[in-house]
Amino acid sequence: MGTARTLFEKIWDAHLVATPAGRSPIFYVDLHLVHEVTSPQAFDGLRAAGRKVRQPARTVATVDHNVPTEPRGTPITDLIAARQIAALQANCKEFGVRLFDMDAPEQGIVHVIGPELGLTQPGMTIVCGDSHTSTHGAFGALAFGIGTSEVEHVLATQCLAQQKPKTMQIDIRGQLAEGVTAKDLALGIIGHIGTDGATGHVIEYAGPAVRALSMESRMTLCNMSIEAGARAGMVAPDETTLAYVKGRRFAPIGSDWEKSVERWHSLPTDPAATFDKVVQIDAAQLCPFVTWGTNPGMVAPVTGRVPEVRGLKENDRRAAELALQYMALEPGRRIEDIKIDRVFIGSCTNSRIEDLRAAARVAKGHRVSSKVRAMVVPGSQTVKRAAEQEGLDRIFLDAGFEWREPGCSMCLGMNPDILQPGERCASTSNRNFEGRQGRGGRTHLVSPMMAAAAAIAGHFTDIRNWKFQ
Amino acid sequence: MKAFTVHRGRVAPLDRVNVDTDQIIPKQFLKRIEKTGFGKFLFYDWRFVGDGQPNPDFVLNDPRYEGATILVAGKNFGCGSSREHAVWALGDYGFRAVISSSFADIFANNSTKNGFLTVHLTEEEVAELLRRAQDVDNYQITVDLEKCQVHDGQGFSATFSVNDFVRHCLLNGLDDIGLTLQHEEAVAAYEAHHPVPAALQSK
């Protein structure tokens, strides 16, 4: 191992358990996060084979996808959802897995609670049956989503057998301007490289613009890696990372902390290491973005227009035409002229305290348009309590936003929070796929500030011109 | 796991790029706690109109493609969510393989765990298969994992590559949990040097 290595390669090498000839390498999983939707069949598989959870202590579960965002005492009226939640409760009990249940003070979106509880740490391998597991890469961990068969594999063996991915560096020079957030950076990158631009690769985000991001912004950036097709996204740990992790409930303490910090300091990519692919982005060229189509690569600057499709390659042109038809938009329409019916501020992309502060700063002293229904769904009970302590809930409620209980909510509409057919939504979530937020619903992805501003204006508006009160 | 060796069947052309897992199996059907029964919800929002009637414009509702077992689609098939329900739905509906010029990683990975084959061909070859499936009645092809070859017996033939280990598992229907458990000693040795952190051990 004398050669220069990337952050990813160091973590990969450190977790190899076996490299059997002619087979996929077997590597160890430090932390396995579990939720109600992708786990019941995996636990059934264990039972059928008479297997146990190998490391219950390295397995942490919560409920997020299905949970209603009404006040917690309200019974779940969706009986199938209730059955899935009950299955997770029973499975965690049977197999001895820690569960942050519906009424727990730690409950929340799995990718929000992992970091805030200090479960997520640099250098770790982290998996979860959810594609947005890439979020945890913000800490310099190797974190990625898996399917249910692999959930079962990890439960049974605490390992995974996978081919080694390729590496990609996204080097972001310069600094983001005021009003341009990590969400805009992510959308700008996906718009540039495409929704399959990083397929087969683990992205490492680097450069001065990334160093300047807070941990929560790095989480937003890494979260969206999967939308570029990446296996995972990562940011090398630094002082910002250590300051965030220190003192959290599951973070190392005392001499363990000192030893961990020493190890974490050795993680960043060696200067001489090379990547399979390198992409450069100039942060200063980025602006607040709004998606106009049905995948996160279909983006336009808020000051721009829905693009012309005529010049595109045939496959892309047809995809764009289908997207415009679904979105009921036409080329040339000014983005700021697009009126909206709904606003969703939440999801594992943008539901943390900094996101809510940014949105509240925009909302303060304003009123949500009479034509718009807007909801704020904090990412976790911890975020919700912190926001209420700061009075953010009052700002939102006074402005006419709904203030709800934590969960995945309208990001994917598995619970009752969905769009009606034809409704148009400014959403801080991560996917604008057809029907994602409800059949026939039209989703435009934006940052929390842009979503709050759209709620008030009733249409998209450039946050850089906002009158803050 | 069901083995995949050689399969011949009718082809359905889904001429779209970036078919995401939300389209393959919409979220309202993810609440089931079984692996079976997802086929009737496959491509639900495209297959059925608002009142639950079949959408006559969707390819799988065209009688010419009834009983199809091989799907051909545009690039980046299976992007988005990690939901394995997408593979279960395709399999439960009756598909054995999808052919495309590229696949999202998690979808491709999930497929291999279910005896379901993702076949990578070039964009030109995919375009040709789409054309033939649209033009020729009862268009059938053979997908041969032993020879890593696709052919229709009417002049179309293409080879594809697949990871040797994945191919081995698919051909023999091997359960990879069982394979990893063969390395129990190595796992235990790794764990001896990497104990569970104290904070995680406490209740």
Q: Three-state SS for B48?
A: strand
Query: Quick one: CA torsion of B55, B58, B62, B68, rounded to 10 degrees?
Result: -130
Q: Compare CB distances from A413 to B17, B27, B83 and report the shortest one's residue.
A: B27
What distance in Å separates residue B131's CA from the closest CA in chain A? 14
Chain B 84-143, residues with CB within 8 Å of chain A CB atoms: 84-85, 87, 102, 104-106, 109-110, 113-114, 123
Under an 8 A CB cutoff, do A435 and B84 touch? no
Q: Select from A250, A253, A322 the Cβ nearest to the Cβ of B200.
A: A250
pLDDT digits (tens, 9 = 90+) for A172-185: 999 999 999 999 99
Q: Do B190 and A229 touch (CB under 8 A)?
A: no
- Indicate the SS3 state at residue B70: strand
Mean pLDDT of A359-381: 98
pLDDT band, very low/low/confident/very high, at A2 (cuts 50, 70, 90): low
Strand partners, A202: A167, A232
Q: Model confidence over B142-192: pLDDT tens digits? A: 999 999 999 999 999 999 999 999 999 999 999 889 999 999 999 999 999
Model's pTM, two decimal places?
0.97
Task: List the single residue in B28, B110, B203 with the smallest CB-CB distance to A149.
Answer: B110
pLDDT tens per residue across span B97-135: 999 999 999 999 999 999 999 999 999 999 999 999 999
Beta bridge partners of A234: A204
Residue of B nearest to A315 (CA): B17
Other C-beta atoms lying within 10 Å of the C-beta of residue B120 = 15
Residues in chain B closer than 8 A to A147 (CB atoms):
82-84, 87, 106, 109-110, 113
- Provide the pLDDT confidence category of residue A232 given band limits of 50, 70 and 90: very high
Best of B57, B105, B166 to disrupt the A interface (most A CBs within 10 Å) is B105
Q: Do A150 and B109 touch (CB under 8 A)?
A: yes
Q: Is B45 on the interface with A (CB under 8 A)?
A: yes
pLDDT of residue A33 exceeding 60, the answer is yes
**What confidence tier does B2 reach under pLDDT thresholds 50, 70, 90?**
confident
pLDDT band at B141 (very low <50, low <70, confident <90, very high): very high
Which of A24, A40, A78 lies at the smallest CB-CB distance from B165?
A: A24
SS (HEC) of chain A: CCCCCCHHHHHHHHHEEECCCCCCCEEECCEEEECCCCCHHHHHHHHHHCCCCCCHHHEEEECCCCCCCCCCCCCCCCHHHHHHHHHHHHHHHHHCCEEECCCCCCCECHHHHHHHCCCCCCCCEEEECCHHHHHHHHHCCEEEECCHHHHHHHHHHCEEECCCCEEEEEEEECCCCCCCCHHHHHHHHHHHHCCCCCCCEEEEEECHHHHCCCHHHHHHHHHHHHHHCCCEEECCCCHHHHHHHCCCCCCCCHHHHHHHHHHHHCCCCCCCCCCCEEEEEEHHHCCCEEECCCCCCCEEECCCECCCCCCCCHHHHHHHHHHHHHHCCCCCCEHHHCECCEEEECCCCCCCHHHHHHHHHHHCCCCCCCCCEEEECCCEHHHHHHHHHHCHHHHHHHHCCEECCCCCHHHCCCCCCCCCCCCEEEECCCCCCCCCCCCCCEEEECCHHHHHHHHHHCECCCHHHCCCC
The Cα of B99 is separated from the nearest Cα of chain A by a number of Å equal to: 16
B50 vs A: CB within 8 A: yes
Share of chain A above pLDDT 90, in %: 96
pLDDT digits (tens, 9 = 90+) for A97-126: 999 999 999 999 999 999 999 999 999 999
**What proportions of chain B, in percent to the nearest 5, are helix, strand and coil?**
40, 20, 40
**Interface contacts A/B by beta carbons within 8 Å:** 192
Q: Is the pLDDT of residue A1 over 60?
A: no
Strand B140-144 vs strand B149-151: parallel, antiparallel, or unpaired?
A: antiparallel
Please tell me which of the candidates B31, B105, B163 has its beta carbon nearest to residue A199: B105
Instruction: Give the model's pLDDT for residue B95.
Output: 98
> Is B31 in contact with A81 (Cβ distance < 8 A)?
yes
How many Cβ atoms are within 10 Å of A294's Cβ, its own excluded? Answer: 26
Interface-testing mutation among A29, A85, A195, with chain B (most B C-beta atoms within 10 A): A195
pLDDT digits (tens, 9 = 90+) for B44-66: 999 999 889 999 999 999 999 99
Give the C-alpha distances (Å, rounded to integers) separating B75 from A283, A293, B144.
29, 17, 21
Q: How far is A406 from chain B (nearest CA, A)?
A: 19
Cα–Cα distance between B24 and B45 in angstroms, integer?
9
Residue A19 C-alpha, separation from nearest chain B C-alpha, in angstroms: 10
Higher pLDDT, B155 or A74: B155
Inter-chain residue contact A414 with B35, CB threshold 8 Å:
no
Q: Which of B16, B17, B79 sits opposite A229 (nearest CB)?
A: B79
Across residues A240-259, what is the average pLDDT?
A: 97
List, for residues A285-321, the tens digit of each pLDDT value: 999 999 999 999 999 999 999 999 998 998 899 999 9
Going by pLDDT thresholds of 50, 70 and 90, the confidence category of residue A361 is very high
Q: Any chain A CB within 8 A of the CB of B82?
A: yes
Yes or no: say if A307 and A315 are a contact pair by the CB < 8 Å rule.
Answer: no
B146 vs A415, residue with greater confidence: B146
Rounded Cα gap, residues A346 and A361, in angstroms = 16
Q: Mean pLDDT for chain B?
A: 96
Would you say B14 and A403 are in contact if contact means Cβ atoms under 8 Å apart? no
State mean pLDDT over A430-442.
97
